Amino acid sequence: MLFVLHNTPRQPLELPGLTLSSLEVDSQMARFDVTLDLWGTAEGLRGWFEYSTDLFDAATIARMEGHFQTLLQGIVADPEQRLSTLPLLTTDEHHQLLVAWNRTHMDYPRDWCIHQMFEAQVARTSDAVALVCEDEYLTYCELNCCANRVAHHLRALGVGPEVLVGLCIERSLDMVVGLLGILKAGGAYVPLDPGYPQERLAFILEDARVPVVLTQERLIAGLPDHGAEVVYLDSGWHTISRQSDQEPVSGATADNLASVLYTSGSTGRPKGVLGTHRATLNVLAWLWQAYPFASQGVCCQKTSMSFVDSIQELLAPLLGGIQTVLIPDEVLQDPGLLVQTLATYHVTRILLTPSLLRVLLDAYVDLQ
C-alpha cells in the first residue's frame, strides 16, 4: 500500500499572461495495489483511495476507509495515546465482533457422558448397522454388548473415573469396541498408534503411566517395555466374552476425562491434551448443528485415533445413528484403492485436508 500526504501549499502557477492550475484525471488504472492520497485543506484532510479491482472490491475499500477514519478520530480525541492502543473498528464492527458473533449459546446434553449418548442411540437404532470394516460389520446392539463385556473386564482390573487406559489397536471393529469399553468402564483412552516409533510410544506410556493397555496379540512386539496390564481383544476374547453384556455402572460424570491425546511434539516434548466428556459433546453438538448428517448417509473413519479429527470422524456419526466405514491403513496408502473403497461402501461424507482431497481427485480422474 502507498500512502501519500501532500502537505505543501497548492498555489496556481502563474506565468506572464498565463495561469496554470491542476486538473484531476481518472487514469482508469491503479499504479499500486492500494494508494491513499491525502491533501491538507482549510476544511481538513481531503483525499481518495485508488486500488486494483483485481485484488479488492468496493466494500473492502469502504471498510478500510472506515477503519482509517476511526483511527484519525481516536488520534484527535486523545493525541497522547500509544499507537498500539488506537481504535480501528467502527462501533458497528466492534459490536458485531464482541457481541453478535459471540451469541453461540446452544443447548446440548452437558451433563451426559459420551457412552451414555451412545447407549441412547442404541435404544433408538438397535438393529441398524453401526460399523463396517471390510467384510465384517456390527449393529448398534452388537457393538454395545461387546463394549459392555470389555467394560466389565476393565472394571475388574480397577479401571474407573480418571484412570487412563492405553489403546493400541489397528483400525478395526476391535478398535471401536475397545474405545467404547474404556469409556463405559469410566476410564479415559490414550491412543497408542501401532505405526508410531517405539521411542514415541515409550514416552507416552511413561508419561501417562497407564495401568492397562488394550491391544491385539500381533501388535505386542511393537510396544516398548512397560509395566501395564495387557488385555488382548483378539486372543483374549474368550475370557472377555464371559463377562456380562449389560450396561456397567461406570461412576463417570461429564467432567471426567474421556481421552488424553498427545501432541506431535514438533516444538518440544509431546504433551497430553486432556479431553472431558462434556467438552467432547460440546464440539459434537456444534458439528451436528453446523453440518447435519443426511438420514441415510454413510461416513468413514480413516484418521489415526491419536489425532483430534478422529473424534469427529468416529463419534459424530456413531452417536447420531449414522453408519461408519472403517478404512484399513493399507487402503489409505493407495489413493486409487481408497477411491474405489469409498465408492464400494457408498460413503457420502468424508473429512479431508485440501492436500488429500487433491490426491483423491487425481486418483479418481485416473480411474475414469
Domain holding 76: CATH number?
3.30.559.30
Q: Are residues 49 and 180 in the same domain?
A: no
Cell of 246: 449389560
Q: Once rounded to an integer, what is the mean pLDDT over residues 70-84? A: 89
Q: Are residues 84 and 231 in the same domain?
A: no
Q: Are residues 120 and 95 in the same domain?
A: no
Per-residue CA distances from 12 to 9, 24, 137 (Å): 10, 14, 88
Q: Are residues 128 and 186 in the same domain?
A: yes
Q: Once rounded to an integer, what is the mean pLDDT over residues 234-263? A: 96
Beta bridge partners of 301: 326
With 0-12 / 13-18 / 19 or more C-beta atoms within 10 angstroms meaning exposed / middle / buried, residue 262 is buried
Q: Please give the DSSP secondary-structure letter assigned to residue 224.
A: P
Cell of 90: 467502527
Q: Are residues 13 and 150 in the same domain?
A: no
Q: Which domain holds residue 286?
A: 114-324
What is the Cα 41 distance to its own chain's centre? 53
Q: Tell me, what's the pLDDT at 55?
A: 92
Q: Quick check: is 367 in a domain? A: no
Q: Give the mean pLDDT of the chain.
A: 91
Integer Cα distance of 119 and 169 in angstroms:
23
Q: Are residues 317 and 197 in the same domain?
A: yes
pLDDT of 30 over the 90 cut: no
Q: Tell me, what's the pLDDT at 182?
A: 98
Q: Tell me, what's the pLDDT at 266?
A: 78
pLDDT of 22 over the 80 cut: no
Q: Are residues 131 and 80 in the same domain?
A: no
Q: Quick check: is 333 in a domain? A: no
Among 102, 129, 145, the domain boundary falls at 102
pTM of the predicted model as reported, rounded to 2 decimal places: 0.76
Question: In which band, very low, low, confident or very high, does the pLDDT at 170 lie, cut at 50, 70 and 90?
Answer: very high
Q: Tell me, what's the pLDDT at 243?
A: 97
Q: Are residues 141 and 267 in the same domain?
A: yes
DSSP for 286-305, please give it.
Answer: HHHHHSPPPTT-EEEE-S-T
Q: Quick check: is 182 in a domain? A: yes
Spatial contact of 166 and 192, defined as CB atoms under 8 Å apart: yes
Cell of 198: 517405539
Integer Cα distance of 196 and 13 in angstroms:
78
Q: Quick check: is 349 in a domain? A: no
Q: Tell me, what's the pLDDT at 28?
A: 76
List the single range of 17-21, 90-94, 210-214, 359-363 with lowest mean pLDDT: 17-21
Q: Are residues 201 and 302 in the same domain?
A: yes
- If one counts the domains in the chain, the total is 2
Q: Are residues 206 and 249 in the same domain?
A: yes
pLDDT of 89 over the 70 cut: yes
Q: Tell me, what's the pLDDT at 39?
A: 82
Q: Quick check: is 204 in a domain? A: yes
List the single range of 79-83, 176-180, 280-284 with lowest mean pLDDT: 79-83
Among 68, 102, 136, the domain boundary falls at 102
pLDDT digits (tens, 9 = 90+) for 229-239: 999 999 999 99
Q: Tell me, what's the pLDDT at 10?
A: 67
Q: Quick check: is 107 in a domain? A: no
Cell of 325: 466405514
Among 82, 102, 122, the domain boundary falls at 102
Q: Tell me, what's the pLDDT at 127?
A: 97
Q: Are residues 61 and 140 in the same domain?
A: no
DSSP for 63-79, please give it.
Answer: HHHHHHHHHHHHHHH-T
Q: Are residues 21 and 155 in the same domain?
A: no
Q: Tell me, what's the pLDDT at 339?
A: 94
Q: Once rounded to an integer, what is the mean pLDDT over residues 149-166? A: 97
To the nearest whole percent, how much of the chain has pLDDT over 70? 99
Integer Cα distance of 93 and 6 in angstroms:
30
Q: Quick check: is 50 in a domain? A: yes
**Residue from 350, 328, 351, 362 nearest 170 by CA:** 328
To the nearest whole percent, how much of the chain has pLDDT over 90? 66
At 202, which CATH number?
3.40.50.12780
- Written as one letter, the residue type at 204 is I
**Residue from 144, 174, 176, 155 nearest 245 by CA:** 144
Q: Quick check: is 339 in a domain? A: no
